[in-house]
Amino acid sequence: MMTFAIVLFAVTYLALLFFSKYRAYIALASAAIFVVSGILPLGDVIGAVDWNVIMMIAGTMGIVALFIESRMPALLADLIIEKMPNVKWAIIALALFAGIISAFVDNVATVLMVAPVAITIAKKLKISPVNAIIAIAISSNLQGAATLVGDTTSILLGGHAGMNFLDFFVYKGRPGMFWVVQVGALVSTFVLMFLFRKDKEPIKAMERTVVKDYFPTALLVGTVLLLILASLAPKDGISPFITNHINGLICMGLMTVGFIYEIVRSKSAKGVLGILKEIDYFTLLLLAGLFVVIAGISRAGVVDEISKIFVRVSGNNVFLIYTLIVWVSVLLSAFIDNIPYVATMLPVASGIAAQLGIDPTLIYFGLLVGATLGGNLTPIGASANIAGLGILRKEGYEVKAGQFMKISVPFTLAAVTSGYLLVWLIWA
């Protein structure tokens, strides 16, 4: 059964890489095979899907659609065009802007917020938005590991290790993950500067877009603030369902508020129906299928066997086990969604640290560096990448894996290598 699961998993991800137009159908078909074959019981399918993530993405898509309708992205595009001398610096500015937001908001939500600005700039300049969207997605993934609220993997680590928001800045008297990520961001920015060195098309200032309705912008800012507050609020006495789905409930709730506002403002439901059509159901189905696939290989014992290999090959060499954790996590997260991977590996990291008699922080942070940043390698390695490519698909751009990886691989290697070295120097 384990051999079958490994083969099915390998075939699934190869198909996802090479047949981008059919990714959602491939993931759903693979999920169905895992269930029909008996590897994953039918009763576990609903629980395998991370509904918090699905709701958060769907809700944010709705809010962002309202945000786009308000023409605020066009105004932001005009402001960036005014300040940037050429396309290269516009792309880098958007990537850095996305990174700043992603340090405090889930990286998928960040991509959904910032990508419309890049699309608008590309349309005004009549150029392809592909490079800009890829840069935004991978920059968001990088900064997602900087704070407790930046990414689901950070939230998982915080829960497992009992870390609060400030622990990501200073932990046990030493620099936390925030500073590690900032060094990685600095190094990878130079990589972007090199990759886009030839994009010297000049940007000319245009007449600024006029925004008449600021409520969608306020709704978007409110979403950001509530997501941050939710991460800081005490969880005692709160229903486990609400605790586990708080981000998704916030996004869906504010999307509903936005829909009601739109109906009252326009005195018609036509606008809301148009926004519902803008939601990328293809991406939602792809993520749902991937969650089930990962649950299937976990149930088959594939992930457990991989974890045991870490312990067997490391002996008592702390540097070796740390190196393995980081770089194997990079490799696996390039193809496996890092949320279930990190959830599975955190207890393993604790066990490894106990066997070696060391503070588990080194292993925890190494896992986060490898798994979160490693997802940038491939188009399907992180939810933000999938969301970014979904946006491009809706604009008529089908991005092949090779095209994506020309930017993502050097960016990721630069960020992971600097983070790998810095975590070791601080925590070894």
What pLDDT shows up at residue 87? 86
What pLDDT shows up at residue 181? 94
What pLDDT shows up at residue 104? 76
What pLDDT shows up at residue 280? 80
The stretch 36-48 carries a mean pLDDT of 91
**Does 30 or 298 have the greater pLDDT score?**
30
- pLDDT above 80 (res 367): yes
What pLDDT shows up at residue 206? 65
Burial of 398 (0-12, 13-18, 19+ CB in 10 A): exposed
- pLDDT above 90 (res 415): yes
What pLDDT shows up at residue 173? 92
pLDDT digits (tens, 9 = 90+) for 381-393: 887 888 899 899 9
What pLDDT shows up at residue 226? 87
Closest to 310 in 3D by CA, of 278, 343, 347, 361: 347
**Does 63 or 365 have the greater pLDDT score?**
365
pLDDT digits (tens, 9 = 90+) for 307-361: 677 777 877 788 999 999 999 899 888 877 677 678 778 878 887 888 778 899 9
| 3-class DSSP state of 170 | strand
Separation of alpha carbons 216 and 254, rounded Å: 10
The stretch 136-144 carries a mean pLDDT of 90
- pLDDT above 90 (res 67): no
pTM: 0.72
What pLDDT shows up at residue 347? 78
Helices and strands (H, E) in the chain, number of each type: 20, 2
Separation of alpha carbons 196 and 139, rounded Å: 15
The stretch 154-161 carries a mean pLDDT of 80
What pLDDT shows up at residue 337? 66
Q: Confidence band (pLDDT; 50, 70, 90) for 205?
A: low
Q: Considering only the C-alpha atoms of the chain, give the largest distance between any 2 of them, rounded to a whole number of Å.
A: 69
The stretch 172-200 carries a mean pLDDT of 93
Phi, psi of 206 (to 5 degrees): -120, 170
- pLDDT above 70 (res 378): yes
Q: What is the mean pLDDT of the chain?
A: 86
What tokens were used for 376? 């940038």
What pLDDT shows up at residue 307? 65
pLDDT digits (tens, 9 = 90+) for 239-294: 888 888 888 899 899 999 999 998 998 888 888 888 888 788 887 888 888 889 88
- pLDDT above 80 (res 375): no
**What percentage of the chain has pLDDT greater than the value 70?**
98
What pLDDT shows up at residue 219? 92
**Do 145 and 177 meet the contact criterion of CB atoms below 8 Å apart?**
yes
